[in-house]
Amino acid sequence: MHGVAMDSQPLVSVVIATYNMGQYLPEAVNSVLGQNWDNLEVIVIDDGSKDDTQSRMAVFNRDNRVRYFQTENQGQPRAKNRGLKEARGDFIAFCDADDIWHPNKLTIQLPHFTDSTVGVVYSEVSYIDEHGETVDKPQPYDRHSGKVTNHLIIKNFIPFGTAVIRRACLEKNGYFDENLPMGIDWDLWLRYSVDWKFQYAPEKTYIYRIWSGQMSKNYRGRYDNAFLILNKFIDCYPEVLPKRMVARAWADMYVSRGMAIASAERTFKEPLRDVLNGLKADSLYWPAWRSLAKLMLGRV
């Protein structure tokens, strides 16, 4: 396995899976085509859109860097996997159809792959609203580089659209899990983290759009999936994590779900049960004690 000589500009395949995002999709595609990195292709997988996506994509018909595929509606994991299977590049990146890349994204991130043990390079994000106006949003997570499994098992700190991956990650550790409706990126990163280093580039290379038409704010569904993903990873890779990290991961999962429910639904009993389960998993996990105090004092 060799590092990458960046003066040669290896091909980067950019996968955009889209569903009814005609109003934003051309801007996403143009932001990728506007890179100061010439050797790239854009693979748009239209997952059964019912809007004007097809007619809006017509402007790219003569650009041989853009490949547009229409499929039946099969859901996000299958659409993304179709894009990955069409990709020809040694490196693969992602852009959500309602988001935008900075023009220097690839020139910032690709040089980090000169280390042949790095499988994923990700970066920082900025935010806009549905009208393209800047939104100030605090960054809730610490970012990590190197062997990140111990950090990743607690929080998915990688903004999905910022990630660029080595093709070898797909070949060695697989594609998105099509049985998961949500959380597919966390599942993928956990698997990749077993064999690859991750590298964080602190520059903001990706603009994330916050707007009303995004995937549902279904926090209960999100946590149901997160429990599944955590279980699956621990079952498949029992030797990777020290026991204390497994305990901490379960503690954080219960506490996070409990506090999300308490905050959204203003209930007490179910969140209390979750927080106590968290403390049962790891009695030394101080955020669980802090959450318990907040619950008891009614300060959620």
Question: HSE (CB half, 13 Å, CA atoms) of 252?
Answer: 15
Q: What is the CATH number of the domain that holds 155?
A: 3.90.550.10
Q: What is the pLDDT of residue 211?
A: 82
Asked whether residue 267 falls in the same domain as residue 193, the answer is no
Asked whether residue 260 falls in the same domain as residue 140, the answer is no
Asked whether residue 60 falls in the same domain as residue 119, the answer is yes
Asked whether residue 254 falls in the same domain as residue 199, the answer is no
pLDDT digits (tens, 9 = 90+) for 54-76: 999 999 999 999 999 999 999 99
Asked whether residue 65 falls in the same domain as residue 132, the answer is yes
Q: What is the pLDDT of residue 138?
A: 84
Would you say residue 222 lies in a domain?
A: no
Q: 0.85 cut: is pTM over it?
A: yes
Q: What is the pLDDT of residue 299?
A: 87
Give kind and range of the element (H or E) at residue 201.
Answer: strand 197-209
Would you say residue 151 lies in a domain?
A: yes
Residue range(s) defining the domain that contains residue 46:
6-209
Q: What is the pLDDT of residue 215?
A: 59
Helices (H), the chain: 25-33, 53-57, 76-86, 105-109, 149-152, 167-173, 184-195, 219-236, 243-265, 269-281, 286-297
Handedness of CA 97, 184, 193, 209 (dihedral sign): positive
**Residue 37's closest CA among 122, 111, 121?**
111
Would you say residue 216 lies in a domain?
A: no
Asked whether residue 10 falls in the same domain as residue 98, the answer is yes
Asked whether residue 199 falls in the same domain as residue 280, the answer is no
Domain count, the chain: 2
Would you say residue 223 lies in a domain?
A: no
More confident residue, 293 or 129: 293
